[in-house]
Amino acid sequence: MDRPNIVFILSDDQGPWAAGCYGNDEIRTPAIDRLAATGTRFDNFFVASPVCSPSRATYLTGRISSQHGVHDWIREGNVGAGAAAYLEGEVAYTDILAEYGWTCGLSGKWHLGHSQLAQHGFSHWYAHQLGGGPYNDAPMIRNGEEVTEPGYVTTAITDDALDFIDRHAAAPFYLSVHYTAPHSPWTGHPQDIVDSYADCAFASCPQEQIHPWAVGHPLSENCLGNREMLKGYFAAVTAMDRDIGRILDKLAECCLRENTLVVFASDNGFSCGHHGFWGKGNGTYPPNMFENSIKVPFVISHPGHIPEGAVQQEMVSAYDFMPTLLDYLGLPLPEGVDLPGQSVLPLWQGEDGAGRDEVVIYDEYGSTRMVRTEAWKYVHRYPDGPHELYDLANDPDERANLANDSAQGARIGKLQGRLEAWFARFTAPGRDGREYDVKGHGQLRPVGGRWNNGDQPFAQE
């Protein structure tokens, strides 16, 4: 295989339920569906943290929050005199790609600190100043300068991506296309698309009674039962999908599709009324690890190299992405870096996972940690709960918490032991998420680095 181009498309706040190819017949996603038809759809792909910035850091570095130190969405240090590079000292797979001759470009959301600084191998850098904001006249970074980008930001990100492809078609390139869609706000989207959902029943988004942990949360209080918000969320996805189609068309027009690996994923899942709340891991307090928060769409397509129209049921984590991508490209892992994941290249190539050890998925968000096997999920909150245990085989919707069932004591003890042994194996000194009072209100500065002056690095109520 010649050195392929890579286009990594990352949406923001999208659960797998919010795509046609995952079985939702209410939402229109023909481009994502086209990718699935020409590639492989993963039905059990999990992020390592159910919130954007820590999840994005794990995709890039292959390391968990308690290693790279990004534990919450980054609230401060994105632009201006106090800007801080939160991943300073980490090795991203884009560093390795650039070292081996790929030209690396970013079009869209960064949200890992110092948005004005091209870093980690990227030579093209068109970034969002923050992590989200208005969809029209959005705050962006171009040539290191803060600009207000006229028009619809999803389209602006795509236009920049198309220009990058045109300029680098003759050489191997890597392009991150990081949309802010379908993150809030769910206003300001193309009106024709919004109106097209006027008669939608939204059966895929049951507006349940508010969850006790979401009471007082403004997102759930304002959005539960609100059809305009549902129309806006669906419209944000469909407008993004329309522009993903433009990228696929551009690759075909430039005769690059056969030599380009296209990946579509999201940074975290999302609930639009499911379980009685709107949001992701920080949509409740205490933070949640519901399937809708930790499971995301993941689709890969590379004609002639990735099986077409295939569905992979094996469980995979975002911390497996970096080692798998480098394995796919025949590139080495970074030396001296402790990676918790492993290459799952055989799954990319259509094998069934036979011979794999038992697969266990681990997640963290501050002092909330999760261990998930194929059949069971255990959520442990330090120091003293509340804890959760779900029998996923018989209760896939996670309705019956068995953590206080005395008959489950041995199972809980075993799962907790696995959880604590795994995190003890990989946690870096000074970056242990249990040491920080993460409440979902944002991270103010890096931890364990020269910016950490001893003040509280996380925003509190």
Over the chain (461 residues), the average pLDDT of each successive run of 10 is: 94 98 98 98 98 98 98 96 95 98 98 98 98 97 96 98 97 97 98 98 97 97 98 99 98 97 98 98 98 98 98 98 98 97 96 83 98 98 97 98 98 98 97 95 86 74 70
Q: How far is Cα 435 from Cα 284, in angstroms, rounded to an integer?
A: 20
In the chain, what is the greatest distance between 2 CA atoms, to the nearest angstrom? 64
Report yes or no on 447 lying in a domain: no
Q: Which pLDDT does position 452 carry in this prediction?
A: 61
> 417 and 273 in one domain?
no
Q: Read off the CATH number of the domain in which 268 is found.
A: 3.40.720.10
> 399 and 331 in one domain?
no
Burial 163-194 (b: 16+ CB within 10 A, else e): ebbeebeeebbbbbbbbbbbbbebebbbeebb
> 312 and 186 in one domain?
yes
Report yes or no on 355 lying in a domain: no
| Domain housing 138 | 5-348
| Global model pTM greater than 0.95 | yes
Q: Which pLDDT does position 356 carry in this prediction?
A: 78
Burial 228-249 (b: 16+ CB within 10 A, else e): ebbbbbbbbbbbbbbbbbebbe
Q: Which pLDDT does position 224 carry in this prediction?
A: 98
Q: How far is Cα 397 from Cα 405, in angstroms, rounded to an integer?
A: 18
> 130 and 105 in one domain?
yes
Tokens linked to 274:
């499911």
Total domain count, the chain: 2
Q: How far is Cα 128 from Cα 147, in angstroms, rounded to an integer?
A: 10
> 339 and 228 in one domain?
yes
Own/partner long-range contacts of 142-151 (Cβ < 8 Å, ≥24 apart) = 144/116, 144/117, 144/118, 145/116, 146/79, 146/116
> 332 and 368 in one domain?
no
> 366 and 323 in one domain?
no
- Name 10's bridge partners: 178, 265
Q: Which of the listed residues 348, 372, 404 is the one where a domain comes to its end? A: 348
Q: How far is Cα 314 from Cα 46, in angstroms, rounded to an integer?
A: 11
Report yes or no on 68 lying in a domain: yes
Report yes or no on 268 lying in a domain: yes
